[in-house]
């Protein structure tokens, strides 16, 4: 075995101990990352009025984006609405879910290809039977958000 000369003020560490320390450090790092992933996976954002109000504030431009946005803007706006549904209090969750399901159908159509206007028009035609329910849900969510969050949403 080759001997490494140590400087007078350094302690000589054999190569196998260096490798052992590196391996131990790598294992410790993997364990810490795994623990973080497990903990964050099992943490669920709880429904609450403040959380829903914050998400709806971020989603307030959904109507405008659906009317004028490109596929990427629409996708991001609908993802924001999906985040709002995840924290919706029980008294508005069903109506919020109706809106999100309809909007998710629009996004699915956008990902099938074609230009944005044609894809949205086709999706609206496909989902036409749901429109009265979606309009009712939209008015319910808008009224709830105005009363609970002080935010006026377009309907």
| Tens of pLDDT, residues 95-124 | 999 999 999 998 888 888 778 888 888 888
Give dist(CA 121, CA 126) in Å, integer: 9
Token output for 114: 């074609």
pLDDT at residue 65 in the model: 84
pLDDT tens digits, one per residue of 14-72: 666 666 665 555 565 555 555 454 444 444 668 999 999 999 998 888 888 877 888 88
pLDDT at residue 67 in the model: 79
Higher pLDDT, 19 or 125: 125
At residue 1 the predicted structure's pLDDT band, cuts being 50, 70 and 90, is: low
pLDDT at residue 44 in the model: 60
pLDDT at residue 41 in the model: 47
pLDDT at residue 117 in the model: 84
At residue 153 the predicted structure's pLDDT band, cuts being 50, 70 and 90, is: confident
Give dist(CA 56, CA 109) in Å, integer: 24
- Ordered alpha helix ranges (H), the chain: 15-42, 49-59, 62-68, 71-86, 90-110, 116-126, 131-149
Cβ–Cβ < 8 Å for 151, 57: yes
> Residues 21-37, buried b or exposed e (16+ Cβ, 10 A)?
eeeeeeeeeeeeeeeee
At residue 94 the predicted structure's pLDDT band, cuts being 50, 70 and 90, is: very high
Please give the DSSP secondary-structure letter assigned to residue 128.
G
Output the pTM of the full model: 0.67
Task: Let me know how long the chain is.
Answer: 155
């Amino acid at each position: 075995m080759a001997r490494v000369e140590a400087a007078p003020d350094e302690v000589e560490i054999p190569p196998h101990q260096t490798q052992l320390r590196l391996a131990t450090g790598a294992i410790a790092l993997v364990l810490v990352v795994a623990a973080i992933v497990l903990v964050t996976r099992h943490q669920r954002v709880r429904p609450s009025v403040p959380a829903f109000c914050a998400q709806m504030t971020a989603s307030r431009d959904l109507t405008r984006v659906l009317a004028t946005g490109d596929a990427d803007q629409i996708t991001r706006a609908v993802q924001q609405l999906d985040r709002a549904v995840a924290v919706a209090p029980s008294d508005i969750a069903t109506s919020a879910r109706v809106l999100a399901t309809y909007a998710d159908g629009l996004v699915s159509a956008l990902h099938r290809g074609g230009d944005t206007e044609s894809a949205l028009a086709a999706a609206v035609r496909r989902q036409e039977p749901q429109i009265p329910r979606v309009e009712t849900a939209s008015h319910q969510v808008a009224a709830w958000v105005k009363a609970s969050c002080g935010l006026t949403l377009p309907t």
